[in-house]
Amino acid sequence: MIIWINGAFGAGKTQAAYELHRRLQHSFVFDPENAGYYIRKQLPQSLLIGDFQDYPMWREFNYSLLKYISSSYEGPIIIPMTIVSPAYFQEIIGRLQSEGVEIHHFTLWASRDVLLKRLKGRGDREHSWPAQQIDRCMEGLANKRFGQHLNTDSITTDEVVSLIAAQLSLPLLPDNRNWLQKKAHRLITQVRHIRFFS
């Protein structure tokens, strides 16, 4: 089973994915961005483009690797990744679904003001690359192809995790951490996934 968590930058994908990972036995978090960073490092400067999702090999590589993992690994595969192009969605997710891979797709939705506030809270300036993508992401993710939407404006990460698990009938492991431990774990997750964009 693949659980793809989509959403604009600042919607809470990464935190939700790693909290879900902590509470789902034998789960694995897959990060499609890593393929993009690898591609960028291997190309001459003249071949670099702004968004690595526009490289056909990024889409092909992630499709192929997910196909392999899903056929060889029995636990849930959790993917926090923004993808707003219906064509690119089809090349990876649609293609896997057409081949019988069980994929559940969720879009974490938040208002523009909330997204900007969250981005600011993690250190992204108002004119940073992620902030500049908000309108494009919101417009793209409004497409019915990207349902189902979970509005996260006024719910916590724990509630997002509970909603996803409940909709998939997945039993969650008990969470015995106190609020300080949760805060520390989420800060570590945030720091580990800081991305530097031009």
Closest of 165, 167, 158 to residue 185, by C-alpha: 158
What is the pTM (predicted TM-score) of this model?
0.89
Q: What CATH class does 2-192 carry?
A: alpha beta
Query: What pLDDT, on a 0 to 100 scale, did the predictor assign at position 195?
Result: 59
CA distances from 47 to 34, 114, 195 (A): 18, 35, 21
Q: How far apart are CA 37 and CA 42, in angstroms?
A: 9
Q: Which residue ranges in the chain fall short of pLDDT 70?
A: 193-198
Query: What pLDDT, on a 0 to 100 scale, did the predictor assign at position 185?
Result: 81
User: How do residues 125-156 score in pLDDT, each as one tens digit?
Assistant: 888 888 999 999 999 999 988 988 999 999 99
Left (φ > 0), alpha (ψ -120 to 50) or beta: where does 170 sit? beta
